[in-house]
Structure 1
Amino acid sequence: MHYIVSIIGARSYIVDSKELSARDTVGHETHVASVLAGNQVRHSSYHGLAHRIARGGVPSARLAIYKAIADGFDIISISLGNDDPLELTFDPIAIREFHAIERGILTVNSAGNKGPSRASINSYAPWIFTVATSDIDRKIIDKLLLGKDATLVVSSYRNYVIECLESSLIDHKVVLCDQEPILEEVKKSRASGFIYPSLDNYSMVMPLPVVALSRDDLNSVKKFKKSTTEPLVQILRSEPVDNPGAPFVAPFSSRGPRIYMHDMIKPDIIAPGVEILAAYSSIGSPSGITWDKNFVEFSILSGTSMACPHVDAVAAFVKSFHPEWSPSAIKSALMTTAWELSASLYSEAEFAYGSGHIDPLKATTPGLVYETSFQEYLKIWCNISRSTPGSVIPTSSSCPTKSTAKDINYHSMVVQVKVGASFAVAFPRTVTNVGRANSTYVAHIEGEPSKLHVSVEPDTL
């Protein structure tokens, strides 16, 4: 295996008299950077799982893991978020990226992993490109063999262990739990493996054999245990299988709308982020547990953090074709060429997946784009700051006439209305032709016209 190492430099920092290394001791940052710009590596896998050629979206991209705004980079990737929702003028991420958009830098941010609850999304600033996560056409499963006859197919689980542990009774046994066991107790218990309930349907790395079951499957295991005096089980090796019908919105992917801004569809777009194989820090625990020293070069992670760099890579790909395009033009290109997911599968519809799933090739030729100026974002900020005591304008620009989110030249359109009441609303928009000169565009409306009357004026451009 060969690597091309081209690190220009690194710097450590001292916080509270303690020096913090510049190395990634967790693995998350390495994984994200690898998805975005990793070089091609053959025969990559996690202990043989997901064996394939691994490559980041744009290996030729240059990454700066630090002050990207000051140095004038094109795209900022943020695979993190606030724990709790914050009003925009008090949100440190929204404030920083407001400076970025003022300097012509596109910011891509993960939506968060608090789904499927509605209004669980915390990244909702209009000037930030917010990314939800989908699964892919491959998933990883485990098989649990009960006795000699039955096999249950289930997902591995992402977190850990509880109070069903009595070390003197479970030494070298597979433990059946009604809850997740406590991590430190897992290490002390010397159990051979664990079976416990989970509502999630995706796999995560664990330091010992673990199977997480639905409640129905867990009850089947309990019945089997009672049916025999010698309940033998086997947790078999994980294996990849096809995932027909993918992509689907990941259950954990945060949903909109946000309580502070109803007239804005968030997330903006969806991208792959479930069971993603990528490079991993050689000093990071692959399961995220400190006592797990099973260090690896590649690992499999899930989260909107993994979806975010996919969108960064596509944005950089589009930028390479159109270096003169603004952040809003690139954002518009990705959103208007995305392929729509089925709203019938998700009660939240667009508030689960935004404009749809990214399509890198189509995004290079969108035809029309929506250009959103910094002045329009500033109007939104001013509208909020005037009604929020203590907030300030993070720019030297003066506050123009205030505006609502639905009135800016954004790439999606939504408005909050009262249930059962009639309404009429207009969305003023301006589009720019980036396709062939003298092209003609004709508006086409999809949906159920018996329930809603929609018109586009003019209907031909």
Structure 2
Amino acid sequence: MERNIVVGLLDTGITPQSESFKDDGFGPPPKKWKGTCGHYTNFSGCNNKLVGARYFKLDGNPDPSDILSPVDVDGHGTHTSSTLAGNLIPDASLFGLAGGAARGAVPNARVAMYKVCWISSGCSDMDLLAAFEAAIHDGVDVLSISIGGVDANYVSDALAIGAFHAMKKGIITVASGGNDGPSSGSVANHAPWILTVAASGINREFRSKVELGNGKIFSGVGVNTFEPKQKSYPLVSGAEAGYSGRQDSARFCDAGSLDPNKVKGILLESQQYLDAAQIFMAPATMVNATVSGAVNDYIHSTTFPSAMIYRSQEVEVPAPFVASFSSRGPNPGSERILKPDVAAPGIDILASYTPLRSLTGLKGDTQHSRFSLMSGTSMACPHVSGLAAYIKSFHPNWTAAAIKSAILTTAKPMSSRVNNDAEFAYGAGQINPLRARNPGLVYDMDEMSYIQFLCHEGYNGSSFAVLVGSKAINCSSLLPGLGYDALNYPTMQLNVKNEQEPTIGVFTRTVTNVGPSPSIYNATIKAPEGVEIQVKPTSLSFSGAAQKRSFKVVVKAKPLSGPQILSGSLVWKSKLHVVRSPIVIFKPLD
């Protein structure tokens, strides 16, 4: 059934000769597919797996670092598309690291690439919007967009506008939540009709042993594929080896900051967060500030400091956890909608890569590989897009909101002890593909639901034309959306502002039965200390498929002192299904 699904990506292009996109065993694309693959310079064309590839550069200016074709010069688009739908490739690795079979989330799905991001000029709004319209016309089933969105206004953000148009045609847009964590309120692509993805860690880390000349051994994080050829090498601090006035950038060995006369040997960097492995073009590793201090002390304690950095090894670590770089809530676009929505693997992901760029992209790097390890919410996004495609293959007529609801309400809860930002870090939790295919109940919505939400949020109806494609909407003539957030969202979020009186939020929800009938669901509430949560009614019974039942959730929170996030939940449970909605109560920074 996956072979009837076409996943579209807006990205940096694709590597058509990659094994990930060979069409062995694939028949022609589904009849509904209207996409094309033009004849471009330096592009070998499409096949029955890669069914569409186009580029968008509407300003007409060539990019000196890129190629005017769908070919991927950067590597990002090849990596995300193979993570989403790449064929199974045995014996994949990065020079022996992360070895095993590589495959995308939905290896039998078809791929369409819309190149909108360019090495020098980035991703422009007009190219994004043109690609959205092309993908919608072509007939993609799922859109996966690993591009950051910076505009909190839903009627002026290009990605939000394009995703709204896609939603109207039944196409779900899955987008990365951004890499500006752990800063509060940094989450991007947070419109409620977008599925916003945070990045979590897997149980594998790449570490290198550092042995100092005095015999002390430390551990660093990073991908160092070089085998040492000597017993030890001279060691120098980057800050002390830099040109005069360039010490800050020299600390991190930035290009052009080091004096070649002072640099011969090993270089160590240090950084605050060490959960993602950087690939190095020379023997190097990343250590934390404590280790960095110990190394510096050693350098200054001897006349001829030396060290050895060994080739990286794989180490097992506890998982999942949210990446330090993964952007956090609260949602800067709406205080009533929880973002991000879910978390998925986004640290040290091995996937296909372009032959047109070295592993680091740095001048002088001669390392090339068919596969690379990359980290970011960009890598988490295609995991969730793949899950959306998987669900769509079983439920071709489900709306974008129904697919999103299935993914959110079946997600595995994550720990606020591991991640202090709780739901602002991971949303509903880590995706759970097998359960998401059969969620029992869904929180469904249509285009008008989002219009009512925007009216409730205070948007001017005259600005809606860009979303709905018609003249202005008069919000006062519409039936108002129900409840605190005016949206049938699968999660609930209450902002506590009053410091003297309790804050009360009434959430009105409707669920649709997509499981067996008859069935009965009973509610279980988990309320954090200082919060009362009631649901009315406490039981929902369904006698037929697609039957709808409504309920209210009343959340009453005592005043909170200082910025806080409290985690509660509502679970509807039947004999076969568990349908979970996080309830977040928070007081923002003033």
Say yes or no: TM over 0.5: yes
Query: Could you say what secondary structure the match of 2:210 adopts?
Result: strand
| Distance in 2 separating the partners of 1:13 and 1:176 | 39
* Correspondence for 1:170: none
- Change in Cα spacing, 1:210 to 1:408, as seen in structure 2 (3 Å) is same
1:62 alignment partner, one of 88, 107, 110: 110
Deviation at 1:276, TM superposition (A): 0.3
1:248 aligns with 2:360: no
* Correspondence for 2:552: none
| Distance in 1 separating the partners of 2:248 and 2:399 | 55
Letter paired with 2:144: S
| Distance in 2 separating the partners of 1:267 and 1:162 | 38
1:210 alignment partner, one of 278, 281, 284: 284
Deviation at 1:166, TM superposition (A): 4.8
| Distance in 2 separating the partners of 1:314 and 1:431 | 21
Deviation at 1:392, TM superposition (A): 4.3
Superposed CA offset, 1:102-127 (max 9, x none): 11110000000000010011211000
Query: Could you say what secondary structure the match of 1:195 adopts?
Result: strand
2:310 alignment partner, one of 216, 236, 244: 236
Worse overlay, 372-381 or 350-359: 372-381
1:192 aligns with 2:265: yes
Deviation at 1:165, TM superposition (A): 3.6
What are the residue-to-residue correspondences of 1:30-69 with 2, within 5 Å? 30-66=78-114, 67-69=134-136
* Correspondence for 1:151: 217
Letter paired with 1:108: V
1:75 aligns with 2:148: no
Deviation at 1:302, TM superposition (A): 0.2
| Distance in 2 separating the partners of 1:430 and 1:407 | 12
* Correspondence for 1:453: 532
1:334 aligns with 2:407: yes
Superposed CA offset, 1:84-119 (max 9, x none): 343111111111111111111100000000000100
* Correspondence for 1:416: 495
Deviation at 1:188, TM superposition (A): 6.0
Deviation at 1:177, TM superposition (A): 8.6
| Distance in 2 separating the partners of 1:13 and 1:266 | 30
Worse overlay, 304-313 or 388-397: 388-397
Q: How many residues align?
A: 450
Q: Larger % of strand: which?
A: 2
- Change in Cα spacing, 1:157 to 1:218, as seen in structure 2 (3 Å) is farther
Deviation at 1:191, TM superposition (A): 3.9
**Does structure 1 retain, via aligned residues, the 8 Å contact 2:186–2:332?**
no
1:138 aligns with 2:204: yes
**Does structure 1 retain, via aligned residues, the 8 Å contact 2:177–2:188?**
yes
- Change in Cα spacing, 1:187 to 1:68, as seen in structure 2 (3 Å) is farther
* Correspondence for 2:510: 430
**Does structure 2 retain, via aligned residues, the 8 Å contact 1:80–1:109?**
yes
| Distance in 1 separating the partners of 2:88 and 2:410 | 27
**Does structure 2 retain, via aligned residues, the 8 Å contact 1:162–1:182?**
no
Worse overlay, 137-146 or 338-347: 338-347
| Distance in 2 separating the partners of 1:388 and 1:183 | 50
Unpaired runs of 5+ residues, structure 1, are: 168-174
Superposed CA offset, 1:274-329 (max 9, x none): 00000001112221324423221000000000000000111111112222221111
Letter paired with 1:61: A
2:362 alignment partner, one of 286, 289, 306: 289
Deviation at 1:384, TM superposition (A): 5.2
- Change in Cα spacing, 1:458 to 1:402, as seen in structure 2 (3 Å) is closer
| Distance in 2 separating the partners of 1:62 and 1:375 | 31
**Does structure 2 retain, via aligned residues, the 8 Å contact 1:35–1:306?**
yes
1:299 aligns with 2:372: yes
- Change in Cα spacing, 1:387 to 1:375, as seen in structure 2 (3 Å) is closer
| Distance in 2 separating the partners of 1:157 and 1:393 | 45
Letter paired with 1:434: V
Alpha-carbon RMSD across the aligned residues, in angstroms, is 2.8
Percent identical among aligned pairs is 38
Letter paired with 1:410: Y
1:93 aligns with 2:153: no
Higher normalized contact order (CA 8 Å, seq sep 6+, divided by chain length): 1
- Change in Cα spacing, 1:287 to 1:355, as seen in structure 2 (3 Å) is same
1:316 aligns with 2:382: no
Query: Could you say what secondary structure the match of 1:29 adopts?
Result: helix
| Distance in 1 separating the partners of 2:535 and 2:463 | 41
**Does structure 2 retain, via aligned residues, the 8 Å contact 1:163–1:182?**
no
Letter paired with 2:522: V
Deviation at 1:196, TM superposition (A): 2.1
- Change in Cα spacing, 1:181 to 1:378, as seen in structure 2 (3 Å) is same
1:114 aligns with 2:180: yes
Unpaired runs of 5+ residues, structure 2, are: 1-17, 24-46, 115-133, 225-236, 541-590
| TM-score (normalizing by structure 2) | 0.71
Worse overlay, 389-398 or 61-70: 389-398
- Change in Cα spacing, 1:290 to 1:224, as seen in structure 2 (3 Å) is closer
Worse overlay, 300-309 or 148-157: 148-157
| Distance in 2 separating the partners of 1:223 and 1:240 | 28
| Distance in 1 separating the partners of 2:298 and 2:191 | 52
Deviation at 1:163, TM superposition (A): 6.1
Worse overlay, 276-285 or 188-197: 188-197
* Correspondence for 1:265: 338
Superposed CA offset, 1:388-426 (max 9, x none): 996744214545345487121111011212253312221
* Correspondence for 1:24: 72
Deviation at 1:200, TM superposition (A): 1.9
Query: Could you say what secondary structure the match of 1:371 adopts?
Result: coil
Worse overlay, 144-153 or 44-53: 144-153
Query: Could you say what secondary structure the match of 1:88 adopts?
Result: coil
**Does structure 2 retain, via aligned residues, the 8 Å contact 1:380–1:405?**
no
| Distance in 2 separating the partners of 1:12 and 1:101 | 22
1:227 aligns with 2:301: yes
Query: Could you say what secondary structure the match of 2:143 adopts?
Result: strand
| Distance in 2 separating the partners of 1:78 and 1:177 | 32
- Change in Cα spacing, 1:95 to 1:74, as seen in structure 2 (3 Å) is same
* Correspondence for 2:521: 441
* Correspondence for 2:418: 345
- Change in Cα spacing, 1:238 to 1:436, as seen in structure 2 (3 Å) is same
Query: Could you say what secondary structure the match of 2:278 adopts?
Result: coil
Letter paired with 1:272: P
Worse overlay, 323-332 or 184-193: 184-193
Letter paired with 1:343: S
Deviation at 1:157, TM superposition (A): 8.0
- Change in Cα spacing, 1:177 to 1:407, as seen in structure 2 (3 Å) is closer
| Distance in 1 separating the partners of 2:531 and 2:453 | 28
Query: Could you say what secondary structure the match of 2:354 adopts?
Result: coil
- Change in Cα spacing, 1:290 to 1:373, as seen in structure 2 (3 Å) is farther
* Correspondence for 1:171: none
| Distance in 2 separating the partners of 1:310 and 1:165 | 42
